Structure 1
Amino acid sequence: MGSVGAHAVVIGGSMAGLVAARALAGRFDRVTVLDRDTLPDDARDRRGVPQGGHAHALLVSGQNTCEELFPGLTDELLAGGAVPFDPGADVLFHQMGGHRLRLDTGLRGISLSRAFLEYAIRSRVAALPGVRIRDRIAVSGLTGNAERVSGVELDGGERLAAELVVDATGHGGARTDKWLQALGAPVPEVATVKVDVGYTTRLLRRGPGERLRDGALLYLIAGVPPHDKRAAAVLPVEGGRWMVTLAGWHGAHAPVDPQGFAKFAAELPTGHIGELVAHAEPLEEGDARRFTHPRSRRRHFERLRRPPAGHVAIGDALCSLNPVYGQGMSVAALEAVRLGRCLDRFGTASSAMARAYYRAAAKVIAGPWQVATGGDFMYPETVGHRPPGTDLVNRYVRQVVLASHVSAGAHRVVLDMQHLLAPPGSALRPATVVRSLLAARRSPARP
């Protein structure tokens, strides 16, 4: 790994920005991470991450990638209270009207809060040689021209020169489009899917070693489209807590008041979450917290013939996925690894490097985007850029999920896709198709 340049700037100090900074450290002499929020010195939720206090998933692929970027991170998180689990044996997933058949996978996931994970990684990044994290700093624009971004301008007028600027601002990259247009640089085509997803979350006390009914550590519910738009998740997180997130598409949002929250939980398809909410001790007084995700946005930088040198986007600034599917943090980590490889290959932050990175990132995004938008378009209220063949794929996916109720093999196929360990196309292998269609007939939830 050689030096690509003297200085790189990362705009945004959340998960995507932090893993990007790790990929840049050692490849640049100096790396500066800028965030307009106040970054806490412990594992607290912060205002700059409005979704931070809700259920988050670090998929197995994301966990493995974070371990690659930060060796020893998993053991550190477990020592701090993160809860290990087998995604097949310890997770009870009610989907398409039935529970997936539980199985031992040999995989290990970890369950923890977003705040704890981000704090641990931020501490690791801040300790890297040549890396500086500056908070309470707002970026007002990019410097340079249509061919090359040369740095950033801060709200106070200060300018920072950089060989590479990484946009990790999130929110679908809306601000960055304006910054690129101001330089005369091309902006990408944007695919938008309106989903109107709402999250409501409460924290409850969890006793030592406590599990849910049926011995599960995590409980997930996805409604049966198109009529049931509800979803829910219960996760054990550090500090002896259950994190309960109730969600829904297109207005099916859980109330924030305690009585309404409990009623929503009690009316879910099974009693697991309703029982927990009714009997566990709340750890926060007053109303639950709320977060909404109106739309998903994918910016197709890979279609630009000549993106400006000295600039790339990562994480939600590249593709803002529906958070119900828990893919965002893992996708950002995978993108950061691709960015590092492209910098090593080209040795400079050129336009050719940016184009190669965007093509590599597009391959990372393709599967999660297909899974998420496919699930979203099971609801007729969803509008936006519908990938070709979505309805046909959705009809088959429904059969695979039904098969997972009775078939360990079908469940493993679904799990590998869910955790980004296999592409969605793996479910379309002829032998898998035949087995899934036959097994689906035996599902107790089959109409």
Structure 2
Amino acid sequence: MVIGAGFTGLLTARVLAGHFDRVTVLERDELPAGAAHRSGLPQARHPHGMLARGARIVEDLFPGVRAELAAQGAPVFDFGAGFATRLPYGWAPRRPVGIEVQSFDQTHLEAVLRARVRDLPRVELLDGFTVEGLHLSADLRRAAGVTGHRRADPGRTPVRIEADLTVDATGRRSRLPGWLTAAGLPSPRRLEVPSPLVYSSRMYELTGDQVPDWLVAFEMTLPPSVDRGGAAITVDGTRRLVSLVAPADELPPPRDDEALRRFAATLRSPHFAEVMERGRPVSPVYRCVVGGNLWLRYDRLPSRPDGLLVLGDAFCAFNPVYGQGLTVAALQARLLARLLRTADGPGRLAHRFQRRAARIALVPWLTATAADRGWSAGPASRPARMTRSFLDGILRRLPDEPELYTRFARVQNMVASPAVLLRPLLGRPVRRAEGCAVARLCGRVTRRHPRSPPSAGIWR
């Protein structure tokens, strides 16, 4: 059973369908037939990106998805040539880097994946169903399913659905910690690195000579010095989804169109203001809290029910400005597929999965939080300061070193280990802090779990 029919839940259902006789996907929303927005996914009105590593996994699980999205207008292009990226210390080099990516509207991606999952003979997608709690075995050692009710039922008649394996893929709004506490079980420790950013996003249509020569424009924030930025993605041949990003007290109200235009003109990249001036708005302005970084350490629970897995944002959620969430979820789905090939059954699967899923989350967590800790006025830990110092040093060099940027792009798209960023430094003495930061990013500094194998397998 999979709770949640978003991106993570759909990938998970596809994986489970190859190993179980029946897979039930439960979704609180009434799901649309095609590409339409739904209340449970407000962030779909804002730009999303899938890194090259995640796109490869999705294509492996659902062959032909990239071509299907491309037929709907979602362009496929080289990351270096198609992106116009304004880094904190200058423009990123505009040249091919050999990494293919695709920009798309999140509702179209989910619609395509949802249709594929509905066609799987072993999968039942049950929407309009609210899950209210876990159903546990008498000794509390095994998750035996869930309890809930159909939203269309005015009497909220309780329904119990049993399963050998239960997966929480409900995202940031996961209620699992509360369910565990209600059952008398320990809940996971919360690690949080907040971000004050909010989005204001709007769709624009451009025609003829209005269409710019870039497919994605991005201006990176790096607090505290660069506290505002933006993203604009190509949805199809004529439409660009523009999002302005800043702390809530700096971003103008969504209904003040003129103030938003003035705000866009203050950014270092001119591309957002150009689209807003030349394009025709075809949607309202939508405001959304970006959300910071949150890691629920299910991998470190002293005891957990067997038969219960947590994937995606319900396990570890990142500041979406950095575009890591979809790819990390895809990597975790692939991990689950690998573990299921050798597992005798769902017993003890949760323990092995959560520990290895934590290794997948480690590098994205360190890179995202290294940047976002700049929002906090409090002191940072020494490892965090080293990681931030290393990241800052690399960012300063990128505008003037195309080869280094190519390496950075590979790391950014999770197709190469952060260790490749050390190679340009080998011509001079490498400071201990730099080496320690990269080792930490690669997952090789594991004092709490000294016997854990390194996470190098993530990069294969």
TM-score by length of 2: 0.87
Q: Kindly indicate whether the alpha-carbon contact (under 8 Å) linking 1:147 and 1:185 is maintained by their aligned counterparts in 2.
A: no
| 1:34 has 2:26 as partner | yes
CA positional deviation for 1:16? 0.9
CA spacing shift, 1:151–1:399, aligned 2, 3 Å:
same
d(CA) in 1 for partners of 2:251, 2:136: 44
Residue 108 (structure 2) aligns with: 116
Choose which of 305, 310, 317 in structure 1 pairs with 2:307. Answer: 310
d(CA) in 1 for partners of 2:191, 2:272: 35
Q: Kindly indicate whether the alpha-carbon contact (under 8 Å) linking 2:206 and 2:278 is maintained by their aligned counterparts in 1.
A: no
Q: Secondary structure at the match of 1:122?
A: helix
Amino acid across the alignment from 1:376: D
Matches within 5 A, 1:12-411: 12-145=4-137, 146-155=140-149, 156-171=157-172, 173=174, 175-207=175-207, 211-212=211-212, 215-238=213-236, 240-249=238-247, 251-257=249-255, 258-284=257-283, 287-350=284-347, 352-381=348-377, 388-411=382-405
d(CA) in 1 for partners of 2:419, 2:253: 38
d(CA) in 2 for partners of 1:380, 1:153: 40
CA spacing shift, 1:166–1:224, aligned 2, 3 Å:
closer
d(CA) in 2 for partners of 1:13, 1:134: 9
d(CA) in 2 for partners of 1:305, 1:429: 40
CA positional deviation for 1:354? 0.8
Matches within 5 A, 1:408-427: 408-427=402-421
CA spacing shift, 1:337–1:105, aligned 2, 3 Å:
same
CA positional deviation for 1:388? 4.4
**CA offsets per residue over residues 181-229 of structure 1, 9 Å max, x none?**
22333322110112122011010003369642xx322110024531331
d(CA) in 2 for partners of 1:432, 1:245: 39
Q: Kindly indicate whether the alpha-carbon contact (under 8 Å) linking 2:188 and 2:296 is maintained by their aligned counterparts in 1.
A: yes
Q: Kindly indicate whether the alpha-carbon contact (under 8 Å) linking 1:54 and 1:199 is maintained by their aligned counterparts in 2.
A: yes
CA positional deviation for 1:435? 11
CA spacing shift, 1:407–1:118, aligned 2, 3 Å:
same
d(CA) in 2 for partners of 1:187, 1:244: 39
Unaligned stretches of 5+ in structure 2? 150-156, 432-460
d(CA) in 2 for partners of 1:14, 1:389: 34
**CA offsets per residue over residues 64-98 of structure 1, 9 Å max, x none?**
11001111111111111111121111111101131
Q: Kindly indicate whether the alpha-carbon contact (under 8 Å) linking 1:262 and 1:274 is maintained by their aligned counterparts in 2.
A: yes
CA spacing shift, 1:189–1:315, aligned 2, 3 Å:
same
CA spacing shift, 1:208–1:73, aligned 2, 3 Å:
farther
d(CA) in 2 for partners of 1:53, 1:47: 11
**CA offsets per residue over residues 7-63 of structure 1, 9 Å max, x none?**
xx1111111111111110121111111111111111112111010110000111110
Q: Kindly indicate whether the alpha-carbon contact (under 8 Å) linking 1:10 and 1:17 is maintained by their aligned counterparts in 2.
A: yes
CA spacing shift, 1:344–1:409, aligned 2, 3 Å:
same
CA positional deviation for 1:278? 1.3
CA positional deviation for 1:379? 2.8
CA positional deviation for 1:252? 3.6
**CA offsets per residue over residues 318-371 of structure 1, 9 Å max, x none?**
011111111111111111111121122222111x21111112211111111111
CA positional deviation for 1:141? 0.4
Q: Kindly indicate whether the alpha-carbon contact (under 8 Å) linking 2:291 and 2:320 is maintained by their aligned counterparts in 1.
A: no
CA spacing shift, 1:97–1:436, aligned 2, 3 Å:
farther
Amino acid across the alignment from 1:278: E
Q: Kindly indicate whether the alpha-carbon contact (under 8 Å) linking 1:413 and 1:426 is maintained by their aligned counterparts in 2.
A: yes
Matches within 5 A, 1:436-447: none
TM-score by length of 1: 0.89
CA spacing shift, 1:85–1:255, aligned 2, 3 Å:
farther
260-269 or 157-166, larger mean C-alpha shift: 260-269
CA spacing shift, 1:79–1:202, aligned 2, 3 Å:
same
CA positional deviation for 1:425? 4.1
Residue 451 (structure 2) aligns with: none
d(CA) in 2 for partners of 1:434, 1:93: 28
CA spacing shift, 1:60–1:147, aligned 2, 3 Å:
same
d(CA) in 2 for partners of 1:333, 1:74: 15
CA spacing shift, 1:435–1:49, aligned 2, 3 Å:
farther
d(CA) in 2 for partners of 1:92, 1:281: 21
Q: Kindly indicate whether the alpha-carbon contact (under 8 Å) linking 1:10 and 1:21 is maintained by their aligned counterparts in 2.
A: yes
Q: Secondary structure at the match of 2:416?
A: coil
Unaligned stretches of 5+ in structure 1? 1-8, 438-447
d(CA) in 1 for partners of 2:129, 2:209: 42
Q: Kindly indicate whether the alpha-carbon contact (under 8 Å) linking 2:88 and 2:222 is maintained by their aligned counterparts in 1.
A: yes
d(CA) in 1 for partners of 2:65, 2:186: 38
Q: Kindly indicate whether the alpha-carbon contact (under 8 Å) linking 2:210 and 2:279 is maintained by their aligned counterparts in 1.
A: no
**CA offsets per residue over residues 84-139 of structure 1, 9 Å max, x none?**
12111111110113101122122211111000101111111111111011111100
Q: Secondary structure at the match of 1:38?
A: coil
d(CA) in 1 for partners of 2:209, 2:101: 17
d(CA) in 1 for partners of 2:416, 2:233: 24
CA positional deviation for 1:239? 6.3
Residue 440 (structure 1) aligns with: none
d(CA) in 2 for partners of 1:104, 1:62: 20
CA spacing shift, 1:251–1:427, aligned 2, 3 Å:
farther
